[in-house]
Amino acid sequence: KLSRSSTEGPVAKLLALAKELREAGRPEVACVALRDGLKEWSESPELWADLGFALRECGDLPGAVEALQAATSLDPTNVTALEALAALCARLHRLYEVFDARLALLKLSPDSTAAFAAVALTVPSGRTFGPWIDYLGERARDSQAPWFVFRYLTRALVRDEGFEDAVLPAQRWVQLRPDDPEGWENLALAAAQTKRRAAALDALERAKELQSEDVTESMPHATPAQRQAAQAEVRAARHKVYAEVYSLLGMNSEAVQELKAAILAKPRDYAQHVDLGLAHARGGNADSALEEFQLAYDLCAQGEFASQFPDILANTRASILVRWSQGLQLLGKAQPAIETVSRIPSVAPDWAAETHREIAFIHFASGRFAPAIEAFEEAFRLNPELVWPDAHYKFAIALLKTGNREKALKEYGVLGAIANRQDLEGTGTPRQARAYLSELAALLYK
């Protein structure tokens, strides 16, 4: 028996039946009824949406996603379906599809700060940066655009390494929110990356004047211990930004002091010790650099997280060894750098290709082009699917240095293919490949 009157159309009656079946704890029967209905009314977004909800209740999450995607493609304004789609894709770790659903929701509520934040939290990497930056750029052209449009645009451009493009929205951000230290920090970063020294230092000074660790507003119900931990997080992040700005401006001693302050706030954060190790290496302080690298390596293996996730620990240790070797190179210690990188396969066997790539980089930096070529070839043989614009560029240069122009031309073609990879747009990789292409073209065709 249907709860809706018999005067309603057949689709409405079917929707009512499906609802009653689901409420009665029989979603699998509802799925059968809805699928039968879709054979005749395949263009009904309501039927597709209800099928998605019923499949979700049956535990068929991929099927539910497929049905909800059909519903939202037929009716892009169905907020309930979009919200369910975003939640399901998040559970399935399908981040690109989460992004698409949340961006669609934002377009339906363009002034919602919550919708903006939801999209921003979803942006992991890859193709998502392109549509996100395009959307924000379009919104920013409106003279009445709210301040948070410029906030998210600046942050997206900085993450995408579009520092030159980030300067103007960062300036607009601080113009609209002059008391926001985050805006000044991002302006300082963008200015430092684009060699605007005076502007970077001015923005950094303003950020320091406005700095605050008060998390009461954002965590009104937190315990004192939770607030203290959050304040330490804020303090450490702030000093890391300051350190990065100083490092970009060549002010290494100031960067070291800021990194020490960050470590004081979060002493067990291994990544901060790596950064401090590199800063010491840039300053020629070998003993302190090596001490920080070793401390970072030891710290990352401590705690329950490391023991519960051995694969993550292996990747973390491998990345630390790469940074460690880079520090040794800064100190002019090429052979110890190679020995450090050569430890990677013992802790992360899956990093064999990366190990040879790093060895090639070290040889290349030292002007030893023949062993660099050998190491590059082994890296590409071990994993031909990996996309490394810097490796292909340096491989081509090494080939030119040893008189192999024909093979260097092939690497030029590889870089060109990477530069045009649509699936990588937004990661910074095509941008990097295009920069290397122009440099390599100047050498090949001079």
Whether residue 118 sits in one domain with residue 1: yes
Q: Do 165 and 107 share a structural domain? A: no
For residues 166 and 92, state if they share a domain. Answer: no
Same domain, residue pair 107 and 36: yes
Q: Does residue 131 sit in the same domain as residue 191?
A: yes
Contact 258, 279 (CB under 8 A): no
Domain span at 190 = 126-211
pTM: 0.79
In a domain, 331, yes or no: no
In the listed set 148, 177, 211, which residue is the last one of a domain according to the structure? 211
Examine the domain organization and report whether 51 and 11 are in the same domain: yes
Domain count, the chain: 2
Is 166 inside a domain boundary?
yes
Could you tell me which of 64, 134, 75, 67 has the C-alpha nearest to residue 99?
A: 134
Confidence at residue 26, expressed as pLDDT on a 0 to 100 scale: 94
Pairwise CA distance, residues 128 & 58, whole Å: 31
Contact predicate 156/428, CB 8 Å = no
421/290 Cα distance (integer angstroms): 39
Q: What is the pLDDT of residue 216?
A: 64
pLDDT of residue 122: 84
Same-domain status, 78 and 54: yes
- pLDDT averages per 10-residue partition of the chain, 446 residues: 47 92 93 93 94 95 96 95 95 90 94 90 68 90 92 88 89 96 96 96 96 72 86 93 96 97 95 97 97 96 82 94 98 97 96 97 97 97 88 96 95 90 66 87 86
Whether 110 and 3 map to the same domain: the answer is: yes
Same domain, 10 and 101: yes
User: Where among 186, 211, 236 does a domain terminate?
Assistant: 211
CATH number at residue 16: 1.25.40.10
Place of tokens 């008189």: 403
Q: Do residues 141 and 196 share a domain?
A: yes
Q: Can you give the pLDDT at residue 434? A: 87
Residues 118 and 163 in one domain: no
Please check whether residue 251 is in contact with residue 206, taking contact to mean a CB–CB distance below 8 angstroms: no
